[in-house]
Homo-oligomer: A and B are copies of this chain.
Amino acid sequence: MESCSHFDIDKLAKVMKILSEPNRLNILCSMGLECTPVSAIIAATGLSQTNVSFHLRIMREAGLVKGERRGAFIYYCLYDTTLLEVLENMSQWMDDSQKKAFA
């Protein structure tokens, strides 16, 4: 029935949902390619500690991010660092698409 049966819509929707939260995107961005302690994320984003932990858990359980303990700190990093490229591509597509609309 659908022309795009070659990919799993529900799985795609779940990942998209996780990436549809500005605070989560900010957290991902603030991590960048390096592993970063939670406190640094808190400082970079200005979000509350609880809130950052809340979002990190969601992304961790989705396999987007992983956290490893180093002494008293827990360092979080992207599970697959190409995620940032994916976001960038998406953003680029939005710009291009918008340009097309006004052409």
Q: Is the CB of B4 within 8 A of A29?
A: yes
Check A70 for interface membership: any CB of B closer than 8 A: no
How often does this chain occur in the complex, in copies? 2
Main SS class of interface, A: helix
A residues 12-31 near B (Cβ < 8 Å) are 12-17, 19-22, 25-26, 29-30
Interface residues on A, range: 35 or more
Check A68 for interface membership: any CB of B closer than 8 A: no
Residue of B nearest to A95 (CB): B7
Check A47 for interface membership: any CB of B closer than 8 A: no
CB distance from A43 to the nearest CB of B (A): 9
Residues of B within 8 A of A20 (CB): 13-14, 16-17, 19-20
